[in-house]
Each structure stands twice: as C-alpha cells, then as structure tokens.
Amino acid sequence: MGDKIRIDQRKVEEDAVLLEGARSRLERAPLDSQDMKTTLSANAKSKAAYGNSQERLSDLSGLLDQEVKNIRSLGAAFVEFDEMAGAVYAKK
C-alpha cells in the first residue's frame, strides 16, 4: 500500500469545468416579442408554462453552480486530509 492517497486534481478540475459548461447552456431566454402580442387563452397558458420552465432552468443552474463548488472543495479537502494523514504516518 502506498504512503499517500493519490488525488487527481486535474480530473477534479476537469469535472468541475464540464459542469460549468453544462450550466452555461442553461441561461434563461425571454419570449420573443411576437409571443407577447396574442390574446388567445391557450397562449396565456403556454406563456405560463414557459415561465415555469425558465424558473426551473434557473433553479437547476444554481444547483449546478453549487455542485461545481462542492467538487472543487472536496478535491481540496482530500488533498488536505492526505497531507495530514501522511504527516501522521511519517511520525510512526
């Protein structure tokens, strides 16, 4: 068994960047001005559904931001733990 846990920080960062890329594609998009001009009740329902979907996209975007932070934080925490464990092991 090795003296240290090997944390591939490059892979940790790669995963975080992939999530950031996915998150960047989830931007809210306003309805086209033409979609706002009709008075049809069906269109009102579709506008409400569209608005709801945009809110969910915004929520998902925020959750992905948090996951990126978690991934980077966990990678750093593993490195810190590995260094502490290595120091304890070296004292034995």
Q: Report pLDDT digits (tens) over 7-44.
A: 788 988 898 999 999 888 888 777 776 655 666 667 77
pLDDT reported for residue 40: 66
Return the pLDDT at 2. 54
pLDDT at residue 47 tops 90:
no
Structure tokens at 19: 């999530």
Report the predicted TM-score, pTM, of the whole model to 2 decimal places.
Answer: 0.62
Instruction: Give φ, ψ of 25 to 5 degrees.
Output: -85, 0
9-24 helix and 41-91 helix, angle to the nearest 10 degrees? 170
